[in-house]
């Protein structure tokens, strides 16, 4: 507020009328501006005592003050983006034949950019510097230097295109893998479908290019290939290793974006392949994000319920219970306050089930909300507990409600529905075996359990119950 007042008072930014008295009248009601004494009439009276109220005058003052507020935001942006401003200043210096000053500005910004870690604005900043260099060589008529610069700039443009295209392709391919087929008509998707990504990766590796931009481009190319060929694991380990081996190059924000992209890809591969290998890899990536203290999206500054549950479930499903419990204890304060209680109850219900503390599990399940994730947990854990306690009628009743919930769940993805249906089918077969003691219910059940759920712990639980049933049958 103090800085904004200085800008309002500055004649350089004047709109033609003195807005300082108007600003000071409004400032009295800062920060809420909800005082009942704050009216157009009272403002007018404080500025023009003895004159008749004019709404037009107040509207003009408000309009001019709004223009200055936009100017203030612009000045804040200038502070945050000195490279953009200095590239413009260097060009203006060249126009005025202040060549040495222009070169000094350019060299300073090159040094500043090269001395800091790669961040999400790197290519934007670098492009401004490269354009400033191009202007300098042009104004100084140095064709050899201009030619050399153009050669280097073309490599920069390629790297920039690959990196920025990969970000968008990741987003598009992510949605394509979840059934949005119209994405196939997207121009960027069509372009990259016609390019031999594998060949480009090979060329870049053969060139042994070591620049930071090239490393980032190679990461992006691996990402493009991996997302386009989601079931092909050929380059997965190379993709992962090049990220882990070059983390020191990246700012925390860019580091989060790169590792999170790898994590999403790993989870997709886990869902498609049903392999514990990728479940384990996803957990290791989560563990790295926590150790590097970059587990929160820098653009949010908090953990959403879904994000927190992702960290928790990945560990929980691999029976990394100590890690999961410590994560809940140490990081639940990072969850949005309005989502915190339900999220913690979700985690504590799961941990109580794993410990066979069924009383506490029921307590936490009954505190859950109405989201599809919470309701799913409520149904499949309660059904399992009733079965474990040999309350088979109650277990069957819960499964019936569970089936209806899944069938009516328009917001549950198709692949998730299949997991739920298979889990219900497996547990029903176990219950029917207990009722009828007929081996037909469990003969092929081990194969079905493999499809039953992507929750590793529940698979183990089902297999344990099947083994007990087979022993009784024998």
Q: Please give the pLDDT value at position 470.
A: 66
Inter-residue contact 129 to 83 (CB < 8 Å): yes
Q: Please give the pLDDT value at position 6.
A: 82
Q: Could you give the count of Cα atoms lying within 13 Å of 18 in the half-sphere of its Cβ? A: 5
Q: Please give the pLDDT value at position 86.
A: 86
Higher pLDDT, 30 or 333: 333
- Mean residue pLDDT of the chain comes to 82
* Residue reference for tokens 């953990």: 303
421 has a pLDDT exceeding 80: yes
CA distance 411 to 310: 18
Q: How far is CA 394 from CA 213, 252, 374, in A?
A: 61, 50, 20
Q: What is the pTM of this model?
A: 0.67
Q: Please give the pLDDT value at position 460.
A: 63
Q: Which range is least confidently modeled, 64-73, 277-286, 337-346? A: 64-73
Nearest in space to 153 (alpha carbons), one of 121, 130, 123, 124? 130
Residue-wise pLDDT for 153-170, tens only, equals 887 787 888 888 877 877
Confidence of residue 345 (pLDDT cuts 50, 70, 90): very high
Confidence of residue 286 (pLDDT cuts 50, 70, 90): very high
Entry field: residues in the chain? 474
Confidence of residue 270 (pLDDT cuts 50, 70, 90): confident
Higher pLDDT, 332 or 131: 332
Confidence of residue 352 (pLDDT cuts 50, 70, 90): very high
Q: Please give the pLDDT value at position 290.
A: 93
Q: Which residues contact 140 (CB under 8 A, 6 or more apart)?
A: 99
Residue-wise pLDDT for 170-226, tens only, equals 777 667 666 676 777 778 777 777 778 888 888 777 665 567 888 888 888 888 888
């Amino acid at each position: 507020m103090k800085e904004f007042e200085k800008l309002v008072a500055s004649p350089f930014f004047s709109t033609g009328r003195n807005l300082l008295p108007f600003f000071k009248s409004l400032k009295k009601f800062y920060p809420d501006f909800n005082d009942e004494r704050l009216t157009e009439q009272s403002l007018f009276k404080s500025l023009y005592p003895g004159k008749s109220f004019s709404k037009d005058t107040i509207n003009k003052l408000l309009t001019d003050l709004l223009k200055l507020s936009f100017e203030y935001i612009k000045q804040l942006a200038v502070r945050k983006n000195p490279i953009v401003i200095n590239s413009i200043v260097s060009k203006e210096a060249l126009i005025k034949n202040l060549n040495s000053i222009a070169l000094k500005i350019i060299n300073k910004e090159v040094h500043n950019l090269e001395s800091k870690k790669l961040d999400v604005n790197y290519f934007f900043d670098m492009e401004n510097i490269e354009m400033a260099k191009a202007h300098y060589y042009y104004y100084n008529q140095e064709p050899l230097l201009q030619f050399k610069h153009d050669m280097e700039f073309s490599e920069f443009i390629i790297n920039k295109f690959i990196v920025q295209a990969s970000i968008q392709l990741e987003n598009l391919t992510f949605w394509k893998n979840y059934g949005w087929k119209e994405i196939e008509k997207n121009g960027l998707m069509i372009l990259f479908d016609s390019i031999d990504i594998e060949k480009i990766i090979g060329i870049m590796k053969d060139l042994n290019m070591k620049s930071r931009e090239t490393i980032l481009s190679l990461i992006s190319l691996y990402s493009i290939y991996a997302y386009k060929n989601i079931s092909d694991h050929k380059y997965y380990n190379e993709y992962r290793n090049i990220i882990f081996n070059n983390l020191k190059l990246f700012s925390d924000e860019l580091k989060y974006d790169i590792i999170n992209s790898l994590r999403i890809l790993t989870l997709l591969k886990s869902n498609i392949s049903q392999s514990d290998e990728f479940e384990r890899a996803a957990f290791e990536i989560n563990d790295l994000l926590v150790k590097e203290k970059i587990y929160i999206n820098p653009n949010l500054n908090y953990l959403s319920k879904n994000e927190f549950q992702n960290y928790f479930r990945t560990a929980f499903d691999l029976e990394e219970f100590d890690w999961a419990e410590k994560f809940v204890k140490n990081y639940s304060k990072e969850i949005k306050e309005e989502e915190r209680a339900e999220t913690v109850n979700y985690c504590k219900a799961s941990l109580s089930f794993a410990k066979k503390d069924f009383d506490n599990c029921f307590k936490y399940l009954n505190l859950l909300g109405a989201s599809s994730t919470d309701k799913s947990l409520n149904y499949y854990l309660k059904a399992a507990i009733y079965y474990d306690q040999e309350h088979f009628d109650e277990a069957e009743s819960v499964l019936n409600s569970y089936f209806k919930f899944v069938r009516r769940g328009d917001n549950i993805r198709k692949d998730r529905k299949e997991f739920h249906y298979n889990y219900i089918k497996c547990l029903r077969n176990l219950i029917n075996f207990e009722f009828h003691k007929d081996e037909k219910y469990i003969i092929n059940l081990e194969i079905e359990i493999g499809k039953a759920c992507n929750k590793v712990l529940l698979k183990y639980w089902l297999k344990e119950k099947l083994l007990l049933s087979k022993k009784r049958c024998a």
